[in-house]
Amino acid sequence: MKIFSPDLIKLSYYALDKKSCLSEMADFLFEKGIINSLEEFLNSIFEREKLMSTGIGRNVAIPHARSDTVKELKIAVYILDNELDFNSIDGEPVKIIFMIAVPGNMKEEYMNVLSVISNFFRMEENRRKLLESTSEKEIYNILRGISDEI
């Protein structure tokens, strides 16, 4: 399953705050034709954040939502220029954000993608490689290995 694509990656993005960053990422997915309704998807993202922050620690956040407005399972990737307060579980700011958009009918795939990505980020080397990347293509090449596990 091809969940990453070079045109869904932004390197050196400066985020003002959590809310505007999540809105920008959802808008990015909308512009790329991944979701039909920006408002509906964004509501799903914010509802998920109310339950518990998706800042999983180690400078990583994985905001995600499953919604019928999503056409195909895709992930927008932002590597930030700055550190963003994300109310993460370890209290650390975020620099890597993966926004996962999942069609409403893909519950099993959804859980599998979350698990594989969480495991990927447990390894310090993977986080370091993403933060040291100098191009979207380089980031994409790092992430292609994740797609093979799904």
Q: Give the closest residue to 98 by CA, choosing from 149, 31, 147, 47.
A: 147
Instruction: Give 98-146 pLDDT, tens digit per residue.
Output: 999 999 999 999 999 999 999 999 999 999 999 999 999 999 999 987 8
Q: How far apart are CA 137 and CA 119, in angstroms?
A: 22
Q: Which domains, and CATH codes, for the chain?
A: 6-149 (3.40.930.10)
The residue behind tokens 């993977």 is 126
Q: What number of helices (H) and strands (E) belong to the chain?
A: 5, 6
Instruction: Give 51-109 pLDDT, tens digit per residue.
Output: 999 999 999 999 999 999 999 999 999 999 999 999 999 999 999 999 999 999 999 99
DSSP per residue over 10-67, as a string?
EEEEPPS-HHHHHHHHHHHHHHTTSBS-HHHHHHHHHHHHHHS--EEETTEE--EEEE
- What is the token pair recorded at 75? 């992930």
Q: Give the closest residue to 131 by CA, choosing from 98, 105, 104, 95.
A: 95
Q: Evaluate if residue 150 carries a pLDDT over 90.
A: no
